[in-house]
Structure 1
């Protein structure tokens, strides 16, 4: 295998980026020769009052599902690093801009349009979708990263340095050794998988990418004390591992079974400021699965954006060990924007979905400060204990102590949400909806206009079935 520490490094970090210092700071990375680019958009950024910098716009792929088929569509991606305010112009090279929107909508970014150009201002790092003329498939994914700090010394023997250029690996994969820091420059493109297998004390950081042509781009397996920070990839799965942080990673997949950020039988996993647009579930937590054995505990996803072109944005609990029942517990999803959800199969719907199978007990789950935009097809919530013979060998044991706090949905496409247990021994217990807001209306047990004979769930468009105990809809004032 080649010595990757010095492969294609060119002239070093300072020549790999244009750096501007002013009221804020801006770093732009040139594309390496041979990179796959898309000319649908021309993107420029600048610190106010300084010179415009042109970003390379990379070709990526997304999944445009029609019926039961995956239809791969070309899309665009660009990125830069920033601290402070920056101005952005996006020119749509395919025609006139009749309308434009910037998502997540919660950021409140209102663009100006003029002919073929969209202009807007960012106050700092954001992961965005720029959508022209209502096109969510040929859109521009624009990632404004925070500035890098503590860039490692490429001459350090514990550093593996991928400098500017295209990098290929023997057998299409690179195994990261224990105790190493892998740095992927913002002008580096990896045409092979990064495997973090059976190691400890590993960092994979930078601003470069695992190219969209590489399925299952980053995989963490049977490892501990791992950090992955700042890269673009197709998928980033974690199995059989402990103490893992995945920060500011962007996952976009377009092929069948293209889950974004799975967790299998792992503990103490943090996802922070990630962006997932996937051709299957965006993020999952399972117990025993794919050769990884055990329950799952202490999983947090925060300050993130999820976009499910197929299946669930958040999915918990279907897989486990029927013969030796396991526990999935202490999960926290906080400050999340859900941009889309499309799933025609009723069994696999739900933006916020807990489906207990394989004798799993799932408990102590919090969904907090989650903003759900109008998706194409699916449900807001799906909580079920069920036996799905396609994926399970037994129903789940139970779902207990789930808090939905400050959940909002604005739209018209949500179908009937489902909350249902299995039998009196396999129940759903203690479910609290606090400040659930649907199209501006707060749903709670004392709300005005609710007929006394209605369930509060009826006002939310939720079906609450048998074997469900202790479900309440409250406001924060009620809990105080």
Structure 2
């Protein structure tokens, strides 16, 4: 059922001028078509730019609002003359017009976007056009912890959420402290507010069951030793070392949906035994999301586990994902879609479908390997099996050579299927036109296939 047209903007958390949480690079306004323009608050978000081998913290912008129906957006650059502009992900097909120093465009559905002026991706505007909240918790009820607009300090820096509680961060709320769901169940954290971007692991879910995290912005959201966790429409930014966005450790039945991750380490990972959490992983899904890895992998699976009591990571699904950037100069840690099986892990039954890679600044498209990474592991993995890639697309010439390689006869990579792998518009298939008879299909796709790989297939289907 379609909602009636609505446009909801939120109170400012504090003054714009002289406030460290504000960024003055842009003025952002929204309106219903033909209506009065309304101002949004432009938050400051820190991100990591790697120049050479050095890391530099840069200040970018973020703004949010809610709507249904249709909305017009105006983004004015306060710092530079606008010569060109792009709104990404490109798959959304958002056309914009430029008048003076203002970029105009329309949206007909909620989405998470990057607005980039003159090709600048490190001082851009992250614009989050959210769906309208269908219900707001009653702040008077004892099971509700309510944070209204404004800046809130958590004493001691951390708030433990008991079972059965709902935490609501209203739009315009900035929470200085992290929220922890530890040995609890039936917990909801929702709203349109922000956990301050200086707070590492803004939400931590550990040994928990039936948890929903929805609609807020933060640094990191790790899930460990847990079952039945949903992370929906959550935005993650990080700028410091070890700044993974959305880790999963030894957990089952975890869903990430409509998330946006721009991180200074892996955007999303699935590991087994790690950081005090024990066991494998099963039924992990990420869909309808946007990933931007300023460092390391957009998607990374399998490195950590329990060598003495081997774990299995299985039944993972990644569907309808836009990868905006990948940059990593360390070759061992490259790969937009990466599975590194270590610590005697077995990784199997992984599905990548409808994934669009826009830009690889430095890195690989595909990386499947069973390494003995002695820096992080005490053994190589047991195997990688039954991996299915469908409708993966990359346009560009900057990617390093992709890698698929096993370890030994008893630690192999088996049954890897690429269906409609499209590189620069060309589908890589075993019967593709123009492939010399003595070439492997992987040669055409710029994929190095090493030893101990069996059952590698490239197909094309209409």
What TM-score bracket applies, with the shorter chain setting the length? over 0.9
- Aligned partner of 1:177 in structure 2 is 162
How far did residue 177 of structure 1 move? 1.0
Matching of residue 89 in structure 1 with residue 74 in structure 2: yes
> Structure 2 matches for 1:54-453, cutoff 5 A?
54-453=39-438
RMSD, aligned α-carbons: 1.0
Partner Cα distance (2:330, 2:151) in 1: 40
Matching of residue 41 in structure 1 with residue 26 in structure 2: yes
Matching of residue 26 in structure 1 with residue 7 in structure 2: yes
**1:392-437 CA distances to partner (integer Å, 9 max, x unpaired)?**
0000000000000000001111110000000000000000000000
**1:271-308 CA distances to partner (integer Å, 9 max, x unpaired)?**
00000000000000000000000000000000000000
Partner Cα distance (2:4, 2:284) in 1: 37
Partner Cα distance (1:68, 1:409) in 2: 26
How far did residue 171 of structure 1 move? 1.1
Q: Is the 8 A contact 1:70 1:256 kept in 2?
A: no
How far did residue 67 of structure 1 move? 2.5
How far did residue 43 of structure 1 move? 0.4
Partner Cα distance (2:350, 2:441) in 1: 22
- Aligned partner of 1:16 in structure 2 is none
How far did residue 373 of structure 1 move? 0.5
Partner Cα distance (1:111, 1:375) in 2: 24
- 4+ residue stretches of structure 1 with deviation over 4 A? none
TM-score, structure 1 as length reference: 0.94
Partner Cα distance (2:456, 2:287) in 1: 25
**1:303-359 CA distances to partner (integer Å, 9 max, x unpaired)?**
000000000000000000000001000000000000000000110000000000000
How far did residue 23 of structure 1 move? 6.5
TM-score, structure 2 as length reference: 0.98
SS of 2:186's equivalent?
Answer: strand
**1:132-153 CA distances to partner (integer Å, 9 max, x unpaired)?**
0110000000000000012111
Q: Is the 8 A contact 1:307 1:341 kept in 2?
A: yes
Partner Cα distance (2:202, 2:103) in 1: 32
Partner Cα distance (1:308, 1:327) in 2: 26
Of 446, 451, 459, which residue of structure 2 is paired with 1:461? 446
* Unaligned ranges ≥5, structure 2: none
Deviates more, 1:318-327 or 1:154-163: 154-163
Partner Cα distance (1:30, 1:440) in 2: 45
- Aligned partner of 1:9 in structure 2 is none
Partner Cα distance (2:385, 2:78) in 1: 52
Corresponding residue pairs, total = 456
Partner Cα distance (2:357, 2:443) in 1: 19
Partner Cα distance (1:41, 1:387) in 2: 47
How far did residue 444 of structure 1 move? 0.3
SS of 1:42's equivalent?
Answer: strand
- Aligned partner of 1:12 in structure 2 is none
Partner Cα distance (2:354, 2:244) in 1: 23
Partner Cα distance (1:39, 1:280) in 2: 27
SS of 2:54's equivalent?
Answer: coil
SS of 1:344's equivalent?
Answer: coil
